[in-house]
A and B are shown apart, each in its own frame.
Chain A
Amino acid sequence: MIRRFFSLEFTFSKRLLGIILVVGGVLGCFALLGFDLIRHSDQGIGPAQRTAMIALGIAAVIGLTLIPLGKAEV
């Protein structure tokens, strides 16, 4: 599989990109929330974190809509 990934023929499919966006978006949101818990900040989620979480959420939603497109090339 790794060999195929690094072959000259490999290209991302819409499905694979969709999965990456969903996984990245969800994990990213959890990471930001986790970071907030570890930091023990009294101020809660700041504007930068909120913006990043919105962006990751949008990425995850876009990812979900890409998954059904299957093998179509990105």
Chain B
Amino acid sequence: MVVADWFGEMAERYRLVRDFNKAAKNSFIAGIAPTLLEAKITKGDSAYRHAFSKWMSAGFRIKALSGRPLEKSELIEIGRVVLDNEELTRKLISLGWDTLEVHSNEGYNGAKWALKDYANIGGFLN
């Protein structure tokens, strides 16, 4: 990979996380969302690796920061919304993420998915 490509990819990764956090903050301030969500990059699960996985930064974690605590079904629903968004799932995979994690703001409640299992949508694998 060319060095410029590598830097471009890293910038795109951080831009995606920043855009998510900005939209989540606006949504919380406007009163649309009862809980403030925050996305961050984590280690990910090595069992979910694919050919484009980034080393030690392959996890995309969505964490509830404040507001009303989220129930398990709500955590799963957030994950399903992200996974149902074909474009976003493909973008996450191509930018080196392999694990999607959704965590509650209290305790160790959370759910995680292997992004590769949801990539055969929209002709990504054709």
Chains A and B are bound partners? no
Residues of chain A having any CB pair with chain B under 8 Å: none
